[in-house]
Each structure stands twice: as structure tokens, then as C-alpha cells.
Amino acid sequence: MLEVDRLPQAWVEQANLMDEVWTPSSWGVEVFAASGVRRPLFAIPLGVDTALFKPGPPRERLRERTIFLSVFEWGRRKGWDVLLRAYRAAFAADDPVLLLLKIDCREPALNPLRELAAALPHPSPPVGLLYNQPLSDARLAELYHNADCFVLPSRGEGWGMPPLEAMACGLPVITTDWSGPTAFLSDKHAYPLPIRGLLPTGSAAAHYRAAQWAEPDGDVLVDLLRHVQRNPSEARAR
């Protein structure tokens, strides 16, 4: 699977040596076919362990705040810049909200803390951070249980495991209505975030270089964040 609108030619050549090719979503099947894969293609969805990722009890702390949770590996593809701009536009510093970020970054050349600080000038609504802190699946499920809404305005996903885990835990989910998550997103069970269109990735990575990914609609994200905060009963029903 891949997170963009086309495969590298080397991948296509290798895939065409296979008996058949599996990818998690129908969107992925379309991308593989459009890129030139001619072998039989099948959408084989991924899943979650519902013995762990299931609705939990109401949290004991910070009940007066709406807690938005985002879980991702650091990088532009995950749309963290879109998320922070929208969060700052949606809420004031003294609003009863909290954005909790669980971020992993293994690239020594990157400095997420510096970029986060630059993106959150004073005054900004509160943000909590779990940085490079590995969690077991059980602890990750607890993290979902202590949030009110999961949000990830990603520019592209091969599948989108964190949004699916959050949904399994009973959280309303705001995530981009493009790429892998379209396999499980619907207006009945989530808040699909529309895109403004596709843009070149601008990435030097070989598997992204000639491809495009989505630009999530940040203005709609502002509206959705406010909607969830102001309509908690409706959000929980998702």
C-alpha cells in the first residue's frame, strides 16, 4: 500500500511479477491499477483487536474540557500543520478544550518540538504532548478512552489504523475523506473531512517524488472542531 495517487515505476514492475496483489482498500486497488499494475488486484481490509480497542468507561479527569486526540508519526503527510492552524482558529486560549498529540519521530534531522513551538505562539489554546513515548496496545486504548474526539487531517494514508482504532473505542473521528480511510469513513459513523484537491507532495523520497496527495480543507476542519465541542451528545452518537 502507499499513501499517494501513484506508485513508483519500480513498484509496478515488481507487482507485475506477482500472482496477485493485495492492498487494504478499494482506493488502493484503483491507484495500483492506474499506475500500471496488471496482475489481479484485491482489497483486503485490515482490522483491529476489538478485545482491546473497544469503548471504555468515562474518564475521571478533565471532564469539563473537550479533549481532541491525534496520534501520528511526525511528517508533513500527517497534516499536523493543518491541524494546529485549525485548532488555533477554532478556539481561544481560555476555551475549555485540549488538543493531545501523541507523536513519534525517529529522524534525528527533524525537530518537532521547535516546529510545534513556532506553530503555537502565545496565546494559543492548550496542547498536551506525548513525544516518543512507546505505548502498549492496552495503554493506547486507554488514551483513546480519555479523549472526546480523534482528529487526523492527513494528506494521505495507505489505510489509517489510528482512526480505525479510535472508532473501535467509540470515539467520533474527524479525518480526511481521501485515500485509505475511505474504506471505513461515512457520515453516519464519523466526520469525513473534505479535501480542496490534490497537490504535488514536494517530497524528496523516491516513493513520493512524482506523486500527489490531498490538501485537507482547513476551513471545514475549524467548523468540525467547533461542532464537536458544542455538540458533545451528537458527537458521542457517531
pLDDT of residue 90: 99
Q: Please enumerate in sequence order all residues whose Cβ is within 8 A of that of 99, keeping only pairs 6 or more positions apart, or say none.
A: 67, 68, 70, 83, 84, 87, 125, 126, 127, 128
Over range 28-45, report the average pLDDT.
99
pLDDT of residue 75: 96
Residue entry with cell 490531498 = 214
Residue 54 lies in a domain: no
- Is residue 59 scored above 90 in pLDDT? no
- Of the pLDDT bands very low, low, confident and very high (cuts 50, 70, 90), residue 62 is confident
pLDDT of residue 227: 98
Dmax (CA) of the chain: 58
- Is residue 63 scored above 90 in pLDDT? no
Q: Please enumerate in sequence order all residues whose Cβ is within 8 A of that of 51, keeping only pairs 6 or more positions apart, or say none.
A: none
213 & 126 share domain: yes
pLDDT of residue 58: 84
pLDDT of residue 127: 98
- Of the pLDDT bands very low, low, confident and very high (cuts 50, 70, 90), residue 31 is very high
Over range 104-121, report the average pLDDT.
94
Residue 50 lies in a domain: no
pTM of the complete model: 0.96
Q: Considering only 55-59, 163-167, 190-194, 217-221, which range has the smallest mean pLDDT?
A: 55-59
Q: Tally the domains of the chain.
A: 2
pLDDT digits (tens, 9 = 90+) for 159-185: 999 999 999 999 999 999 999 999 999
Over range 185-201, report the average pLDDT.
97
CATH of the domain at 179: 3.40.50.2000
pLDDT digits (tens, 9 = 90+) for 196-217: 999 999 999 999 999 999 999 9
* Paired residues of 216 in beta bridges: 195
CB 174 within 8 A of CB 225: yes
219 & 170 share domain: yes
Q: Which three cell numbers stand for residue 113?
A: 518540538
224 & 149 share domain: yes
- Is residue 119 scored above 90 in pLDDT? yes
pLDDT of residue 71: 99
- Is residue 218 scored above 90 in pLDDT? yes
pLDDT of residue 60: 82
Residue 4 lies in a domain: no
pLDDT of residue 16: 99
Residue entry with cell 489554546 = 125
100 & 13 share domain: no
pLDDT above 70: percentage of residues in the chain: 100
22 & 86 share domain: no
Structural domain that includes position 27: 9-43
152 & 217 share domain: yes
